[in-house]
Amino acid sequence: MFTQTLIHLLIFYVLKSDCMLYTKGTESREVRELGGIWQFRADTSDGRNLGFEKQWYTRPLAMTGDVIDMPVPSSFNDITQDRMLRDFVGWVWYEKNFFPPRTWKTAKQRIFLKFESAHYNSIVWLNGKQVAAHEGGHLPFQAEVTHLLNFGYSNRLTAAINNTLTPYTLPPGTITYPKHQSHYPKGYFVQNFQTDFFNYAGIHRPVKLYTTPMLYISDITVVTKISGTTGIVNYNIRVEGASSPVTYTIRLFDAEGMKVAVGQKASGQLNVSNAHLWWPCTMSEHPAYLYTLKVKIEDGSDEDMYDVAVGIRTVEVTKTKFLINGKPFYFLGVGKHEDADIRGKGLDYPTMIKDLNLMKWLGINSFRTSHYPYAEEIMDLCDRHGIVVIDESTAVGMKTVDNFSDTTLQHHLAVMEELVTRDKNHPSVVMWSVANEPNATLVEAGAYFKRVVDYTRTLDGTRPVTLVTGGNLKPEFDNAAMYGDVICLNTYFSWYGNPGRLEVIQYQASTNLRAWFEKFQRPVIQAEYGSDALPGLHTDPPMMFSEEYQIDLLTEYFKVFDEVRSEFFVGEMIWNFADFSTAQTNALIGARNMKGILTRQRQPKSAARIIKKRYYQIGNTTVQTHNKESKIYIFSIKSIPVA
């Protein structure tokens, strides 16, 4: 059924262009957003291949059959009242007609088309000509289209997106066909998931046209260090399209706009005296401190300009501590799905800012991008507001031997390269997570994750690497955790195991945490723990699914965390920030995972205030100092009433 479409991707994958820098307008670059209302249709043919067989990309999509309006960015699943479209698996087709600016025609420049994210496999045509293809969701891809645009005429942009999950995708899944075909409609099949969240699909983030000069900056890498009170900013600039030797003008500005360092080479080191360091400061009234690195390149006939935010900070891991700027950092965090109210995983600015304000209200200083990379706009907010991020790949649900094949491995390495390339300059990103809850009992998992972790370290040697271990797995049966720098554990005592038996948590959680530390001698984070709670369900004595049970379960975990915090334990991250969508099962009401301390509509459950009280109490014991204009400022946490 899906053989032909996979062949398409294998043939054209080489057309994918590297995308290094976030797309934004500068003095030398212009951006045209192509979001809004697109034409849309799903290929409901038995093989999901009719669009390729009839070459829908060669003519207006409306000429191929019925189309509907579809917002971009969004997930197509939750936009209509069509039950079949919500659960659709296979190829869907998008189309947008646009006019490029007339001024772009005569300018001597390059023009790129960029998709910030589409899930899962994508093929893109411009005016009937294929320009790009990409495998995997949640990360950007682009193509140069300078000579393919029609100026003075409408241009037709067509995209085919396929959300099918196979044993070799990340996340993986399987397709099965019922044995008794007489009991099912013609062509019937089932997409089986190996994750507990809904397989939202579509064009999830903005689509943009942007220009660069013929000579342009294709990448900037920034690495910071600290020596005494001096901040060290090492930089490297990659340039494309030079026709003669390039002149570099590098300037570093502080937050007040004052120039503090200059450079004149493609790579070099800038020293900042009495540097302001980037500190986590979620509960402070002050933003995180950011410098701005402004880069200008010239080759005599052309020039390009670009700037990146720079947070001067270091990250280190010892046997028992996670250090930021040489000081112990304790993760007061959450697991978080990028799952907006009715928009699936579509980038939504109001929800993004609402979530930021809720995290501040709760005293959250960190989160994990479970279980895929989030929009870069979110990462920028974390840089500015001092929220620490564990940046996770799409490798979730790896359960079978097939999921550790060489095919998957090569894709996994490509995903890590795309992720590190995109997010390497964000000071908020302090650790890479290469996977969530893989079946590490398999022998194949050991060699597999050694390759992935080692490769990630070659991409970025400045941050620790982890993989998140799931379930109640005993450390002696794990073949992968040894390759990470930090042990991240997901456990659900008194929920999936010993349901309703809250009295066992202190024994089982303490034993579990200590066993992992003793085995691997690395700092430990509780990356997930919690229980479902139906909003408004109250029982006394507490029973499972009630808000009271969620509170009591968390409280039992807190006792263990407080016991080991002074030893090797460096963070607690409740699962989950907010309720999120799942596939339909008879075990989850309304196809929702309700482990959130907030509802999906971002209303607090009772547990939210318990978390808030705890996080503020712990946070108030921590202060950070900033040297500003020769004065020492103590950024302590403002006390906020919990009730």
CATH number at residue 226: 2.60.40.10
Please indicate, yes or no, whether residues 520 and 400 belong to a single structural domain of this protein.
yes
Task: Verify that 237 and 348 share a domain, yes or no.
Answer: no
Residues 6+ apart with CB under 8 A from 49: 1, 4, 5, 43, 91
Question: Given this model, what pLDDT does residue 11 score?
Answer: 34
How far is it, in rounded angstroms, from Cα 376 to Cα 385?
14
Domain stop point among 310, 336, 361: 310
Does 166 score more than 80 pLDDT?
yes
The two structure tokens encoding residue 643: 């009730």
Identify the pLDDT of residue 596.
Answer: 95
Strands 247-253 and 230-240: unpaired
Are 261 and 230 in contact by the 8 Å Cβ rule? The answer is no
pLDDT confidence tier of residue 585, bands split at 50, 70 and 90: confident
- CATH at residue 485: 3.20.20.80
pLDDT of residue 2: 39
Whole-angstrom Cα distance, residue 373 to residue 22? Answer: 14
**In this structure, is residue 643 part of a structural domain?**
no
Return the minimum-mean-pLDDT range out of 105-119, 221-235, 515-529, 591-605. 591-605
Q: Is 457 exposed, middle or buried (0-12, 13-18, 19+ CB in 10 A)?
A: middle
Q: Residues 414, 384: one domain?
A: yes
Residue 339 pLDDT > 60: no
CA dihedral sign of residues 15, 20, 23, 25:
negative
pLDDT (0 to 100) of residue 586: 66
Q: Give 373-399 as a DSSP string.
A: PPPHHHHHHHHHHT-EEEEE-S-B---
pLDDT grade for 592, boundaries at 50, 70 and 90: confident
Categorize the per-residue pLDDT at 590 as very low, low, confident or very high, splitting at 50, 70 and 90.
low
DSSP 578: B
pLDDT at 259 (0 to 100): 98
Q: Convert 482-504 to b/e letters by CB count within 10 Å (16 or more is b).
A: bbbbbbbbbbbbbbeeeeeebee
- Give me the chain's average pLDDT, please: 91
**pLDDT > 70 fraction of the chain, expressed in percent and rounded:** 91
Query: Which residue is associated with the tokens 């212009």?
Result: 30
Give me the mean pLDDT over the 40-46 stretch: 96
CA 481 to mean position of chain CA atoms: 21
The pLDDT score that the predictor gives to residue 344 is 59
pLDDT for 639: 34
Q: Is residue 191 part of a domain?
A: no
Q: Examine residue 523 and state whether it is found in any structural domain, yes or no.
A: yes
The answer to the question of residue 172 being in a domain is no
Q: Are residues 506 and 446 part of one domain?
A: yes
pLDDT of residue 182: 83
- The values of phi and psi at residue 456, to 5°, are -60, -40
Band of pLDDT at residue 346, cut at 50, 70 and 90: confident
Does residue 175 sit within a domain?
no
> What is the number of other CB atoms lying within 10 angstroms of the CB of residue 51?
24
| For range 148-162, the mean pLDDT | 97
Checking if the pLDDT of 621 tops 70, the result is no
Task: Categorize the per-residue pLDDT at 180 as very low, low, confident or very high, splitting at 50, 70 and 90.
Answer: confident
Domain membership of residue 241 (yes or no) is: yes
Q: Which two tokens stand for residue 561?
A: 């965390």
Mean pLDDT of all residues in 295-316 = 97
Q: Label residue 279 left, alpha or beta by phi (over 0 means left) and psi (-120 to 50 means alpha).
A: beta
Residue 226 has pLDDT above 80, yes or no: yes
Pick the last residue of a domain from 294, 310, 326.
310
**Whether residues 139 and 283 fall in one domain:** no
Task: Please provide the DSSP assignment of 289-329 as one string.
Answer: P-EEEEEEEE-SS-EEEEEEEE----EEE-SS-EEETTEE-
Considering the domain architecture, whether residues 464 and 570 belong to the same structural domain is answered as yes
pLDDT at 637: 38
Domain boundary pick from 269, 285, 310: 310
271, amino acid identity: N
CA terminus-to-terminus distance, the chain: 57
**Residue 115 contacts by C-beta under 8 Å, 6 or more apart in sequence?**
122, 124, 132, 134, 140, 141, 142, 159, 203, 205, 207
Asked if 437 and 549 sit in the same domain, the reply is yes
Residue 98 lies in a domain: yes
What is the average per-residue pLDDT within 487-495?
A: 97
What number of CA atoms fall less than 13 Å from residue 505's CA on the CB side?
26
Task: Provide the pLDDT confidence category of residue 9 given band limits of 50, 70 and 90.
Answer: very low
Q: Rounded distance, CA 616 to CA 619, Å?
A: 5
The answer to whether 511 and 499 have CB atoms below 8 angstroms apart is no
Q: Residue 17: pLDDT band by 50, 70, 90 thresholds? A: very low
Verify that 147 and 271 share a domain, yes or no: no
Q: Mark whether 437 is an active-site residue.
A: yes
489, 511 Cβ separation under 8 angstroms: no
- Do 486 and 628 lie in one domain? The reply is yes
Amino acid at 549: Y
The whole-model pTM stands at 0.93
Q: What gap in Å lies between CA 253 and CA 533, rounded to an integer?
A: 48
Residue 281's pLDDT is 80
Our count of domains for the chain comes to 3
Secondary structure (3-state) at 543: coil
Least confident range from 55-59, 179-183, 218-222, 621-625: namely 621-625
The active-site residue, picked from 298, 338, 437, 572, is: 437
Which amino acid, one-letter code, is at 326?
G
- β-sheet bridge partners, residue 224: 233
Q: Which domain holds residue 381?
A: 315-635
The reply to whether 289 and 203 lie within a common domain is: no
CATH number at residue 32: 2.60.120.260
Q: Both 269 and 123 in a single domain?
A: no
Q: Which pLDDT does position 340 carry in this prediction? A: 47
Which tens digit of pLDDT belongs to each residue from 248-301?
999 999 999 999 999 999 999 999 999 999 999 866 667 899 999 999 999 989
Whether residue 102 is found in the same domain as residue 153: yes
In this structure, is residue 173 part of a structural domain?
Answer: no
